[in-house]
Amino acid sequence: MGNRLSKIYTRTGDDGSTGLGDGTRVSKDSLRVSAYGTVDELNSAIGMTLACDGVTDPVREALLQVQHDLFDLGGELCIPGMAMVEDSDIDRLEKILDQLNETLPPLKEFILPGGGMAAACGHLARTVCRRAEREVIALSGAEALRPQPQRYLNRLSDLLFVISRVLARSSGHGEVLWQHQRRRKTPPAE
């Protein structure tokens, strides 16, 4: 592959538009650009997680593969009609999710984001993933999209939750449980 970006700035977006992968110009605040922009943000949040100390090899391997998948997913969203995310990608996420989850105790309380830097970054990535999923849903309401990108993001957010639990435990920080009993319950006013 040659030099794809020989010049970083082009000035073509100064008017508030950007080019999709098929050459179509759209507004930078379009649903499509918002969706693939948030997928890019998600990839960066996963990169932050990977940059933390204490990321175990199985988690690192899974997240690196996810980063490649997210580039594919972004490409699919950037090029109308493109198909890059496959059912096998979703199946792979489910397999990893099941493997990591079977090492964890059952949940009895909600977990607060935290449990060390890597786990906290994983939780941040999970919330960005949920936003990306919502934006893909909004885009699919306006334009025809295959179901795989939405399904992939839905499964990925579950995986990121489990990865955050694994990282909190492996770091020694442990999970931060929501203390729902900390407030005295008052009956509703009549």
Q: How many domains does the chain have?
A: 1
Residue 17 falls within a domain, yes or no?
A: no
Residue 75 falls within a domain, yes or no?
A: yes
pLDDT digits (tens, 9 = 90+) for 33-87: 889 899 999 999 999 999 999 899 999 999 999 999 999 999 999 888 899 999 9
Residue 91 falls within a domain, yes or no?
A: yes
Q: Nearest to residue 136, comparing CAs of 25, 18, 32?
A: 32
Report residue 180's pLDDT band, with 50, 70 and 90 as the boundaries: confident
CB 143 within 8 A of CB 46: no
Residue 41 falls within a domain, yes or no?
A: yes
pTM of this prediction? 0.86
Tracing tokens 């492996």 back to the chain, one arrives at 170
Asked if the model's pLDDT at residue 158 lies above 90, the reply is yes
Residue 65 falls within a domain, yes or no?
A: yes
DSSP codes, 61-82? HHHHHHHHHHHHHHHHHHSTT-
- Per the model's pLDDT, the better-predicted residue between 173 and 162 turns out to be 162
Residue 155 falls within a domain, yes or no?
A: yes
Residue 34 falls within a domain, yes or no?
A: yes
Domain containing residue 103: CATH number:
1.20.1200.10
Among the ranges given (20-24, 59-63, 106-110, 141-145), the one the predictor scored with the smallest mean pLDDT: 20-24
Residue 187 falls within a domain, yes or no?
A: no
Domain that holds residue 67: 27-175
Using DSSP's 3-state secondary structure scheme, residue 19 falls into strand
